[in-house]
Chain A
Amino acid sequence: MTLTFQPIRVATGFDEEGMMVLDAEQRLVAVLVRLSDRNEVAPGQWNLEAGFGPVNGVTPPTFADLDAARDWIGQRLARGW
């Protein structure tokens, strides 16, 4: 599964940079945000803000880097519903 990232700013209220995650057919499958250093739970980690289709979930993890996020999202999409 080929996933690509496109930077996007996300209005979380905390000045956080984000990434749109697109699948091979350029469909939006997820939005990631790099948590601000002020975040007390996982500062600097990538948080799955929104996921679509199989990536949607109530308790998504946070990721140390974009590669970890790519792996997790890829697995979810491969597994399907």
Chain B
Amino acid sequence: MHSPFHPDYNPMIRRMQSVFTLTDDERQALQSLPMQVQVIKADQDIVREGDRPSRSCLLLSGFACTYKVTAQGKRQIVSFNIPGDIPDLQSLHLKVLDNSIGTISTCRVGFITHEALWDLCTRYPRITAAFWRETLIDASIFREWVLNVGRREGVSRMAHVLCELMVRLRAVGLVENHACDLPITQGEFADALGFTTVHVNRVLQQMRTEGLIELSGERLNVPDWEKLKQLGEFDPTYLHLETDQAAA
């Protein structure tokens, strides 16, 4: 397995490995999947609502988000996307995109044609099942976010989303101890949590003062993981991760 910093690192393979052991054939098929890799700057759209894409995007590095916008232009981020995610995998079956996906930081994105994905799915039923499972987990994450944004209060709401990010990043090898890169701005947290930016700032300041989190630049450290989990009422069951490391 390549480290996350190796150019050949494929987070999709790592993700599948956490669910079932790939045969050599399956691994080979995933490794040789034709992919057009593109570097996209921060704050750019990768795809837009209404698009009819002929390919899906695998996030190889960087942070992105799935979002929708009201008629008045107010944005709701409905999930954060991290390396290994294929945030528009549903476009393989649903022809018109009903959301946009934008970068948060600079991203390396691998575009895979639907044709290549169909071919892969036809030949490898276990990979098809794994993709299906991924879209079911996406739906589970959206359900949890509705609960979080609709019903949890300030610090608890923020704590929950930070716990989710830590656990998902850990599952793709991007957490060291309890620290990870976190390039998400306070404005982006506001759009994700349904807060004003002012409120996000107060919540983060409160969490820093209480020693729940340490933020330096774009690095997040969680000194007391159990306490953060407790505050965020965080139970990782909805992420349906199979690896032991995810439970940490």
| Chain B residues, Cβ within 8 Å of A59 | 74, 196
Q: Is the interface of A mostly helix, strand, loop or mixed?
A: loop
Give the contacts of A15-60 with B (CB-CB under 8 A). 35, 38-42, 47, 58-60
B198 within 8 Å of A (CB atoms):
yes
Chain B's interface size range is 10 to 19
Contact B196 A60 (CB under 8 A): yes
B99 within 8 Å of A (CB atoms):
no
| Chain A residues, Cβ within 8 Å of B196 | 47, 59-60
| Chain A residues, Cβ within 8 Å of B74 | 58-59
Stretch touching chain A among B131-139, B161-169, B200-208, B230-238:
B200-208
A15, B202: Cα distance in complex, Å: 12
* Residue of B74, B198, B200 most packed against chain A (CB within 10 A): B198
| Chain A residues, Cβ within 8 Å of B201 | 39-41
Least Cβ–Cβ distance between B218 and chain A, in angstroms: 15
Contact A42 B205 (CB under 8 A): no
Scan B190-220; emit 1 where CB is below 8 A from any A CB, else 0: 0000101110111001100000000000000
Contact A41 B194 (CB under 8 A): no
Least Cβ–Cβ distance between B164 and chain A, in angstroms: 22
A75 within 8 Å of B (CB atoms):
no
Contact A14 B198 (CB under 8 A): no
Of the residues A12, A13, A38, A41, contact of B197 by C-beta under 8 Å: A41
Contact B186 A41 (CB under 8 A): yes
A38, B206: Cα distance in complex, Å: 12
With contacts A40-B186, A41-B186 taken as known, whether A58 is within 8 angstroms of B202 at the C-beta atoms is no
Residues of A within 8 A of B (CB): 12-14, 35, 38-42, 47, 58-60, 62
21 A-B contact pairs sorted by A residue (CB < 8 Å): A13-B202, A14-B202, A14-B205, A35-B198, A39-B198, A39-B202, A40-B205, A41-B197, A41-B198, A41-B200, A41-B201, A42-B197, A42-B198, A47-B196, A47-B198, A58-B74, A58-B194, A59-B74, A59-B196, A60-B196, A62-B198
Kindly list 4 other residue pairs between chains A and B, CB separation below 8 angstroms, not including A13-B202, A41-B201: A14-B205, A39-B201, A39-B202, A40-B201
